[in-house]
Amino acid sequence: MIIRPRRLRRTRVLRDMVRETSVSPKDLIYPLFVKPGKGLKDPIPSMPGQYQFTVDTLVQEAKEAWGLGIPAVILFGIPDTKDPTGSRSWAPDGIVQEAVAALKDSNPDMIVITDVCMCEYTDHGHCGVIKDGDVDNDATLELLAKQAVSHARAGADLVAPSDMMDGRVGAIRQALDEEGFNNTGILSYAVKYASAFYGPFREAADSAPQFGDRSSYQMDPANALEAIKEAELDLEEGADMIMVKPAMAYLDIVRAVREICLVPVAAYNVSGEYAMVKAAEEKGWIDGKRVMMEVLTGIKRAGADLILTYFAKDAARTLS
Ligand code: PBG
């Protein structure tokens, strides 16, 4: 035998030298939930190790993440009240607006991203306003734009629309520019599937739809060409970065999107993916730490530049 691939696997140092993919804490974006109140850090039962924070405890958590080398957080708000249009989502004294201001105040260097969506703020739990039993696309655009502008005004570095309305990136870009926020970026959840992997998140953010599901706006998991179409549309509308979500069952999509665009591609390692690893680890069925690193490495190998993950702190600790 002339060619023996095992020669390069012989020692740890040799394997390190020829490794093709690496995960670094700087690749990670840490999702955080914030709600009104003070001094709270309430565990989310379906996501062991994840919490609903109040602004004060959130600032501490972000500091800890920063100390581990994680450059960015993405915020999800749990408002005090909900209504049909989700009006608390664009209130200047809304929970995300307050959290952004506090985070930027305590650490101006940390990148603060905000999820822009209506589902946490509407009493019906859908990602926009309802007309004739479905989400009204064009009426929702105006509200998303208002929400994005209010996040920018609070100091957000990037806004991340996750609603999947058509034309929302363009509407948000235009509104941001009109208000003088031409330097606020857009990380678009361009390719977001109607997935059952979001289950634990909906418990964490109290955002489950009260009727029907999200399949009239989020994508069909069976479609791949449509992912390219969605990514290209959002790039034309001014997205600065593109996201694919979920990650683990969609690595082919991460690769395809990476190949067609010239902006950073992020993948969202979502709540259900996190919960599965944690549950199997708790049962003693898998080595949770190794599976975590294998998952994150796989997402990067597929082509993601950035990973949104609840494992951010654990992974950064493992990597240090
Ligand atoms: C809001 C939103 C969701 C997630 C991120 N933003 C839930 C949904 O679309 O129902 C899911 C994140 C996760 O599962 O970790 N629209």
pLDDT values of the chain reduced to their tens digit, one per residue, 320 residues: 999 999 999 999 999 999 999 999 999 999 999 999 999 999 999 999 999 999 999 999 999 999 999 999 999 999 999 999 999 999 999 999 999 999 999 999 999 999 999 999 999 999 999 999 999 999 999 999 999 999 999 999 999 999 999 999 999 999 999 999 999 999 999 999 999 999 999 999 989 999 999 999 999 999 999 999 999 999 999 999 999 999 999 999 999 999 999 999 999 999 999 999 999 999 999 999 999 999 999 999 999 999 999 999 999 999 99
Active site residue 229: no
- Residue 83 pairs with which residues in a beta bridge? 122
Topology at the third CATH level for domain 20-319: TIM Barrel (3.20.20)
Residue 196: closest CA among 205, 208, 188: 208
Each domain of the chain, given as residue ranges in start order, spans 20-319
The protein residue with its alpha carbon nearest to ligand 1, atom 8, reads 198
* DSSP three-state, residue 164: coil
Going through 123-178 in order, the beta strands assigned E by DSSP cover 130-131, 134-135, 158-161
- Residue 31 pairs with which residues in a beta bridge? 74
How many whole angstroms separate alpha carbon 117 and alpha carbon 137? Answer: 13
Neighbours of 283 (CB within 10 A): 8
Q: How far is the CA of 119 from the centre of ligand 1 (A)?
A: 9
The protein residue with its alpha carbon nearest to ligand 1, atom 7, reads 198
Cβ burial 89-111 (10 Å sphere, 16+ → b, else e): bbbeebbbbbbbbbbbeeeeebb
Q: Cβ(270) to ligand 1 under 6 A?
A: yes
Our CA angle for 292, 293, 297, nearest 5°, is 120
What is the 8-class DSSP label of residue 54? P
The protein residue with its alpha carbon nearest to ligand 1, atom 5, reads 162
**Amino acid identity, residue 307?**
I
Active site residue 131: no
Helices 225-236 and 251-260: angle between axes, nearest 10 degrees: 40
Q: Which pLDDT value is given to residue 301? A: 98
Spot the catalytic one: 35, 192, 278, 313: 192
Q: How far is the CA of 178 from the centre of ligand 1 (A)?
A: 28
Residue among 140, 159, 198, 245 whose CB has most ligand 1 atoms within 8 A, to mutate: 198
Spot the catalytic one: 35, 63, 104, 245: 245
Q: Which pLDDT value is given to residue 58? A: 98
Residue among 117, 163, 274, 309 whose CB has most ligand 1 atoms within 8 A, to mutate: 117
